[in-house]
Structure 1
Amino acid sequence: MSNILHESSQASVSASLTQAVLHAASRLGLDRQALLSVCNLTDQQLTDPDARIPFSVQQTLWHELDSRLQHPEPGLLLGRNLTPGPFSVLSYLLQSSATLGDALSAALRYQRLGGEGGELHIETRDDSLLLLYRPLHPQHPATRIRVLAMMACWVQMTRPLLDDFRLLGAQFRHAAPADLTPYQDVFACPLQFASDDYAIALPRTLSQAPLIQANPPLQQLLRQHAETLLARLPSASLSARVIGLLGEQLAHGEPDRAELARALNLSERTLQRRLAEEGCSYQHLLADTRRQLAEQHLRDGRLPAAEIALLLGYSEPSVFFRAFRQWTGLTPGEYRAQHGAG
């Protein structure tokens, strides 16, 4: 299910991401308290790494950083000084993935945990993998510094995780600056300006490349926590909140629709009606969630199919096997042979 861009009055961002930006600014010599004051933020608002702040407030922070940092491209400077640790669950989830492809799938599913300032899209083109970012309000004065910081941070974070990391190209919406050196230092690839999107192109073969910090047990815990956080986002559609709660319930066995409706303060009938208004149903969302989790477990290759069936709330493995063949046209064993991480 594709994410929906929210109006800036509703959109929010992770407090931990805001904290990381402030840490980077402090390392670059800026006064943290002065920045907090300009944005009407307090340290208490950023203490909980899972808290949220309005996207408009963080835009004010980016705009202030753009004016205070003396650098030809402040976004790239900030991105190179952002550390992934303060990003909390999302960055750890990506780094502990089995392969780059798994990390990108997680980034797509959980991107709203970082912030709702835009949408990530992934497209396959011939021998390349294109990561496109479409920001909310692309003409906003703070968008350039924000997106460049994100792109630079992503490259800095990913490079140490892969033995053969390299970029095929990078695209930017703005016109080419006079000095390309900051861009070449970060991306080390052909650059294209005045493009329709911000984007990074990778060799398609890197999708199956194993990540150095892969950690399956940690990954399982982080995904459960990420599903919980996703379901709690106030601006989430009902279907997105249902998917998050299903992810939680499936970790404990067969999902319970009545319990899920109660968690949303809805009756079962109202739940069904409102999901229908969004063009889906409880059963459809349950099947999609089970399929996604099943494919993830099979690609990881560490659990037998019968155990995966139990994890997904099936009373009998045979029921799971029939469902999986209907979804993919393959048995779990055939899927693992084709897509497993070995």
Structure 2
Amino acid sequence: MTTTALDPHHASVSASITQAVLHAAQRLGLERDALLHACGLQEAQLSDPDARVPFAAQEQLWQQLASRLALPEPGLVLGQNLAPGPFSVLGYLLQSSATLGDAIAAGLRYQRLVGEGGELLLEEGDGELRLVYRPLHPELPATRTRVLALMAFWVQMMTPLLEDFRLLRADFGHAEPAALEPYAEVFACPLRFNAAAYALVLPPALRTAPLIQANPPLQHLLRQHAEALLARLPSEGLIARVVTLLGAQLAHGEPDRAELARTLNLSERTLQRRLAEEGSSYQQLLNDTRQQLAERYLRDGQLPAAEIALLLGYSEPSVFFRAFRHWTGLTPGEYRARHGQAGG
């Protein structure tokens, strides 16, 4: 699963994560005002937790931290001193998820709310669940500090949420350092250096593990707020946001256009007008989304067609069957059989 490609020259990060990094630095004895001055930030830029600051400024902050902290791996220590609270809506959204898989899905969906300094992906195979992070500017020395801080923070946040959290392995894109003790203390698992990517490798069974702080009502409110914040970010068109929201709504029944418009802070009329300006419509996107999901479910799994109909928000399987034949000229059974022949 990937995110929308971003222009690295216009990448930004949330003020809340910048505040969290500064608080961690203060706990380690660094002077806040000196750090702000060194990276060209003002206190006023950080007062609103939902505000954004240029990623380039935060890169400067990480560079300052790497040079001012006389530690073998300053990133690991900074990550252990980051607190989930200042991460605002995303931190609370992850903590209140029903399962670790749900939390990871939320992290993938809303990662841009925290920052655009890299891409978080989920890969599964060979008996592993790999949470991979691909940073912007991997060649910069400060990137190592930043990514290690994020990885240490993820482990620190996930550990108390699960009864039996453990890692199979931790992968690092840099060469093996002389001192491994800081890594062993944070990750408590086998370590692999000079890897293709930075990654935390988990047992697949942890995907369905329930989280101790699961809170469905809070989760619903936080998702609404997260979607509204995501809709304000640039570089992702309205069509892409509507398609994502439709995918989320379909799992709960017939999509509600009015609710979707409210989530985007738009009226229904404005939503229709802006979609028309992008060459589409709500109904076209709903049909396209249903068709794409239906074809994926039929190709990738063994779900009965009646269950797929429910997942796509249809109250009756017969309505889904008619729609699918209209889209493809095939029944769901014929499509699945044909795909099976193609795949064999």
Q: Give deviations 1:187-241, integer Å, cap 9, x for gaps.
A: 0111111111001111111111100000000001111111111111023234333
- State the match for 1:254 in structure 2: 256
| Aligned amino acid, residue 277 of structure 2 | T
Q: Secondary structure at the match of 1:109?
A: helix
User: Kindly tell me: are residues 41 and 289 of structure 1, through their superposed partners in 2, closer, same or farther at Cα, counting changes over 3 Å?
Assistant: farther
- 1:61 equivalent to 2:61? Answer yes
TM-score by length of 2: 0.78
Please give the per-residue CA displacement for 1:248-280, whole angstroms capped at 9, x wherever unaligned.
99999731689457259x54432226x9xxxxx
CA distance in 2, matches of 1:64, 1:143: 12
Q: Does the C-alpha gap of structure 1 residues 85 and 118 become closer, same or farther in structure 2, counting only changes over 3 Å?
A: same
Report whether the alignment pairs 1:186 with 2:186. yes
> Separation in 2 of the partners of 1:127 and 1:142?
33
Q: How does 1:87-236 map to 2 (within 5 A)?
A: 87-236=87-236
| TM-score between both structures, scaled by the size of structure 1 | 0.78
Q: Amino acid of the residue matched to residue 269 of structure 1? A: A
- Pick the structure with greater CA Rg: 2
What is the rounded CA distance, in whole Å, between the counterparts of 1:288 and 1:93 in structure 2? Answer: 29
Deviation at 1:121, TM superposition (A): 1.1
Identity %: 56
In the superposition, relative to structure 1, how do residues 70 and 123 fare at CA in structure 2: closer, same or farther (>3 Å)? same
1:183 partner amino acid: Y
Letter in 2 for 1:254: D
Q: Who is 1:283 aligned against? A: 286
Deviating more after overlay: 78-87 vs 51-60: 51-60
Q: 1:214 to 1:245 in 2, by over 3 A?
A: closer
**What are the within-5 Å matches in structure 2 for residues 322-341 of structure 1?**
322=320
- When residues 11 and 150 of structure 1 are mapped into structure 2, their CA distance, relative to the original with a 3 A threshold, is same
SS in 1 for 2:257: coil
* Counterpart among 313, 318, 329 of residue 316 in structure 2: 318
Count residues with an aligned counterpart.
301
Q: Tell me, which stretches of 5 or more residues in structure 2 are unaligned?
A: 295-306, 325-331, 334-344
CA RMSD, aligned part only?
Answer: 3.2
| Cα contact 1:231–1:245 (8 A) shared by 2 | no
Deviation at 1:142, TM superposition (A): 1.5
User: 1:197–1:288: structure 2 CA closer, same or farther, 3 Å change rule?
Assistant: farther
CA deviations on 1:123-179 (whole Å, 9 max, x unpaired) are 112322111111112112221001000000000000001111111101101101100
Deviation at 1:37, TM superposition (A): 1.1
Distance 1:246 1:42, change over 3 A: farther
Given that 2:79 and 2:152 are in contact with CA atoms closer than 8 Å, whether structure 1 keeps it comes out as: yes
